[in-house]
Structure 1
Amino acid sequence: MPTPIKMPALSPTMEEGTLARWLIKEGDTVSSGDIMAEIETDKATMEFEAVDEGTVLKIEVPDGTEGVKVGTVIALLGAEGEDAGTVDAAPAAAAAPESSESAQPAASEPPEPTPASAPTVAPAKAASSAGTRTIASPLARRIAEKKGVDLASVKGSGPNGRIVKADVEGAQSGSAVPRREAAGPATGQAAAAPAGPATLPDFGIPHEDEKLSNVRKVIARRLTESKQTVPHYYLTIDVRLDPLLKLRAELNAALEAQGVKLSVNDLLIKALAKALIQVPRCNVSFGGDVLRSFSRADISVAVAAPSGLITPIIVDAGSKSISTIATEMKELAGKAREGKLQPHEYQGGTASLSNLGMYGIKQFEAVINPPQGMIMAVGAGDKRPHVVDDALAIATVMSATGSFDHRAIDGADGAELMQAFKALVEAPLGLVA
């Protein structure tokens, strides 16, 4: 009997993903550990390895299919002696789930509820005249909905007559029942129009719509939830950078032979971590009626990747040397931009650091990443009039703004953390002690 290969849970919170690309084809032989596919999760594109050996009898979910629920059968693997002809004899349970109800969630915690303000969109589950369900991939259903194609009138070219993307793209639009005529489940009212580009007025302006990636969807959802549910407050402090810049130049000269080059950001990561250890009341996470305090500082660092913002983590940054932080940060940032971060490299963190100074931004307020209690936003260091040793001078000054969750961190504690951060940056020998 063929072995079903199911959509894996590649992170604890993953509920669905995009099957970006198959790296094998029907008829190929695979062994345990072979890379079978690339799957786009809510954070990154990751490789999916085979856990058994055998022959790929059928690929149930084609390249590019979005919204594939965890637990959905995506391929069938045959043992020695089995061939594609045995697939039809496989029990119906081996078929890919066609509704979200049949997919098993992978997250160890319950799925997050849909915000009440978000319109609910029913999937386009068309039925044929005989009353049987039309089998179609999630991507094909979305394209059909957008084009106004009646799936019952489309002949599928996929496995077991499954309607795939190419079938819908080649179909004539306009054959589906107009949305305004579709009745609600019990009231006879018109069904709600789906959210998306169709709801955006274009005012006659030429434009191009781009479908959100899984990463961008998660960013939008989490940041909206953060601003709606977390009572932010902000504290800004000016920090003189000249001593830090001098130390950085000296360290880079000493590390040049090792091929290590420190950035200002590497030193700021270290400064924030040490400040959190000095002020442990700010090194916390908030969760309902629980306030969790951490014994080490793991710093999530914001990195702009092509797919969207992601925050790889420098684990135990307070106890690591600056050169180690620089090496790890360079590697993690590269993996983030290539979409190759592993879940343990971006999940967690006790606080975050976001730096827009390289863009010339003077000061900004970052959004907290729950359940973390704070995030530090740093701007560019620029020459300003500044009081140094009770005399007015020109100094390189950077504005740093801490965003704090007032449920977890009181204002006085947040102010103490900002003072500790400023002291470490202005007397940076403490960072290498």
Structure 2
Amino acid sequence: MARILRMPEVAANAAEAVLQGWSVTENSPFAASDVIATIETEKAVVDVEAEADGVIVKTLVPEGAAVEVGDPIAVIGDPGEKVDNLDALLADMGVAAAEAVKDPERREAPDAARTAEQAAGGPDTGGTARSGGHAAGPRIFASPLARRLARQAGIPVEEIPGSGPNGRVVRKDVEAAAARKAAEAADREAATIPSPTPAPTNVAVRAHGPALAPAVVVADRTHTDTPHSRIRRAIAARLAESKRTAPHFYLRGTARVDKLLDLRRQLNDGGTTKISVNDLVLKAAARAHTLVPAMNVIWTQDAIRQFTSVDLAMAVATPQGLVTPVLRGADRMTVTAVTATVKDYADRAKTGRLRQDELEGGTLTVTNLGMYGTEEFAAIINPPHAAILAVGAARQEPVVEDGELKVGTTMRVTLSVDHRPVDGVVAAEWMRTFLALVENPVQILA
């Protein structure tokens, strides 16, 4: 029996997601657990799997379209099922406004769409109109997202070659055309400049999003604008909310890490898995949570929620922005297991293939800028976590040992804490425990 497939809520409190692509074409069968479609959330790319065998009767949403959670995206049926009158079926299912589902642009601005249709003498076919309401050329197929991006880039969609089915213009086509336009503008500008000049200081270029496609860029002689990606908007919203609602306080500490570096060398000596300093820091943080369980909490509206398992998030920088996948049960993981998980997360984060469930949960984030030479910094708490640990570089410095001045390797860390679920004494106890573990790292392996 035919039924509606709706946009799932793959991320908590998500209002919409982008349908990145269909894995099964219309009238093609699929089996249970087959991937039907791929959708893009603010931070991850998620595969939608079939719950049972069936067939795609009709796709209602084009690739690249932003769809509200719960909206229809396809009609699916039992294996071999066919539908003769799709419009009647949709009406019976309560999806009367089929065109509004197929074309989100019309749903966003129905009055403007109707005005355009009336001016053209009928429904908009995607082509250009001459005076008198006659089409100027063949119908141009383009996804709603592609049309919006083309307008932002100032490129007529009719001038963009389409690479989608039946020559349909999709997002990557617009991005490629915008990149060509920006390159041509840069070439023209370079031809008018007799000698090299410094780059403008107000250039702000950011990657487009987790799909790893080139950004749509709007450029002129003085600046470059790249539209905010979904992940950049998510980062901005979450961190602004954190600063507004979570009263931050900060603890700073310095640890001798000579023994930690020696342990790392011993573990890597002859081993196939190369353990990093950050892997050992993650283990130390997990162990500190076990020893100071009052830090393994989050704030909720009704209670302070304490966890029995230690789940730690790790900050991973990607071309699209920062993501924080979670190491589940980090307190029970071996160091080599932590290393393998961290590498897997980092590799998949760069290609936008982290699952949504891998980005949820945890009570503490560990962020490390030591590999960039940063000595010390303070980070903003990643909600709903209670704290974030900022780790600086290991550096040789003068230290006092038994009353004598010596050269030692030290590392500075800053713990940002949400004062709602965690008091200063608890955070100080956790910091003391963590520093002791780093300075005596054999305990990390216990």
SS in 2 for 1:331: helix
Give the counterpart letter for 1:281 in structure 2: A
2:109 is matched with 124
1:273 to 264, 279, 286: 286
TM-score by length of 1: 0.75
Deviations along 1:302-350, whole A, 9 cap, x unmatched?
A: 1112332111112222232212211222222222222222233221002
SS in 1 for 2:114: coil
How many residues are treated as equivalent by the alignment? 368
Contact 1:26 1:59 (8 Å CA) reproduced: yes
SS in 2 for 1:401: strand
Contact 2:5 2:75 (8 Å CA) reproduced: yes
2:72 is matched with 73
1:225 is matched with 241
Structure 2 residue ranges without an equivalent (≥5): 127-142, 156-167, 175-205, 207-217
Give the counterpart letter for 2:244 in structure 1: Q
How large is the RMSD of aligned CA atoms in angstroms? 3.6
Deviations along 1:375-428, whole A, 9 cap, x unmatched?
A: 100011111112233221111111100001122222222222111111110111
Moved more, 301-310 or 51-60: 51-60
Cα deviation for residue 43 of structure 1 reads: 2.0
Change (3 A) 1:295 1:208: same
Q: Does 1:388 align with 2:394?
A: no
2:145 is matched with 139
1:216 to 207, 229, 232: 232
Cα deviation for residue 222 of structure 1 reads: 0.3
1:180 is matched with none
Deviations along 1:16-45, whole A, 9 cap, x unmatched?
A: 111112223223222222222221012201
1:279-298 aligned within 5 A: 279-298=292-311
2:253 is matched with 237
Deviations along 1:77-102, whole A, 9 cap, x unmatched?
A: 244665464313313224577889xx
1:11 is matched with 11
1:51 is matched with 51
| d(CA) in 1 for partners of 2:96, 2:263 | 62
1:2-401 aligned within 5 A: 2-65=2-65, 67-79=66-78, 82-83=81-82, 85-92=84-91, 93-94=94-95, 123-125=108-110, 126=112, 128=114, 139=145, 142=148, 205-253=221-269, 256=271, 259-401=272-414
Moved more, 270-279 or 89-98: 89-98
| d(CA) in 2 for partners of 1:323, 1:144 | 48
Change (3 A) 1:145 1:411: same
| d(CA) in 1 for partners of 2:52, 2:292 | 50
| d(CA) in 1 for partners of 2:259, 2:108 | 59
| d(CA) in 2 for partners of 1:333, 1:321 | 18
Contact 1:74 1:96 (8 Å CA) reproduced: no
Change (3 A) 1:363 1:205: farther
Structure 1 residue ranges without an equivalent (≥5): 104-121, 150-162, 170-196
Change (3 A) 1:31 1:297: closer
Cα deviation for residue 68 of structure 1 reads: 0.6
Contact 2:395 2:409 (8 Å CA) reproduced: yes
Which structure features the higher share of helix residues? 2
Moved more, 373-382 or 303-312: 303-312
Give the counterpart letter for 2:285 in structure 1: L
Cα deviation for residue 144 of structure 1 reads: 9.0
Change (3 A) 1:80 1:332: closer
Cα deviation for residue 232 of structure 1 reads: 0.8
Contact 2:45 2:356 (8 Å CA) reproduced: no
Change (3 A) 1:372 1:21: same
Change (3 A) 1:78 1:431: closer
Give the counterpart letter for 1:29 in structure 2: P
Percentage identity across paired residues of the two chains: 41
| d(CA) in 2 for partners of 1:16, 1:269 | 34
SS in 2 for 1:90: helix
2:214 is matched with none
Deviations along 1:234-283, whole A, 9 cap, x unmatched?
A: 111111111100011111126x1xx2221111110111111122222222
| d(CA) in 2 for partners of 1:147, 1:31 | 41
| d(CA) in 2 for partners of 1:364, 1:91 | 56
SS in 2 for 1:91: helix
| d(CA) in 1 for partners of 2:150, 2:274 | 52
